[in-house]
Amino acid sequence: MEKKSILDKTTKEKIMEYITYFFIYSFLGWLIETIYAIFVHGYFVKRGFLFGPLCPIYGYGAVLLLMATKKLHKKPFLKFLIAITGFTVFEYIVSLVLEMLFGLRWWDYSNDFLNIQGRVSLLYSVVWGVIGVILLEKLHPYIQNKIQKITKGNTNHVQRNICFILIVILIIDTIFSALRYLG
């Protein structure tokens, strides 16, 4: 049997794939944030907007980066520039929207060199660029391979149900988390 290429996938399969990546990278983002906070503070600090172990900004950012760079093979510097630009703009917009909606700031780079309103800074933009290249060049190919192996024997019905359940859980978590910050 011939291996199915990404070009042969139906739109539903591509959507399920991106939803899967969104949840994986949202969880990994939460994990990175949690480990970073433990390192900085010396103890567990609840990170992110949601109750659950997800930081959706990482999931959305990763999926957007994957989509924006899918035709850039063997061009890590261009991927770096796209990651810096995309993540910086995205981080600024998310910070602004969260503050407008809830009157809170989840991060503040005001003390960092070359920051814009404390929402983004040169240091973190470069860090996001490096993380973006690592994601695209090392982490994502590994995760993509593992996901393909796991889903190879499963029917689309099982994958759809898992994606549906994860989305419902995310929506419920988002509603309860928003109510917590609005109340």
Report the distance separating Cα 153 and Cα 19, nearest Å.
Answer: 19
- The answer to whether position 20 is within a domain reads yes
Query: Does some domain include residue 2?
Result: no
Q: Is residue 4 part of a domain?
A: no
pLDDT (tens, 9 = 90+) of the chain, 183 residues, equals 445 554 456 787 888 899 999 999 999 999 999 999 999 889 888 888 899 999 999 999 999 999 999 888 889 999 999 999 999 999 999 999 999 998 888 899 999 999 999 999 999 999 999 999 999 999 999 999 998 888 777 667 777 888 899 999 999 999 999 998 887
In a domain, 122, yes or no: yes
What local confidence, expressed as pLDDT, does residue 137 receive? 94
Could you tell me if 94 and 57 are in contact, meaning their C-beta atoms sit under 8 angstroms apart?
Answer: yes
- 150, part of any domain: yes
Residues paired with 116 in a beta bridge: 120
> Would you say residue 138 lies in a domain?
yes
Structure tokens at 39: 């390192």
Please tell me the pTM assigned to this model. 0.87
Nearest Cα residue to 22 out of 55, 52, 63: 63
1 within domain boundaries: no
| Alpha carbons 49 and 46: distance in angstroms, whole number | 9
| Cβ atoms 16, 160 nearer than 8 A | yes
Within-domain flag for 22: yes
**What total of structural domains would you count in the chain?**
1
DSSP one-letter code for 135: I
Domain assignment of residue 25, given as a range: 9-182
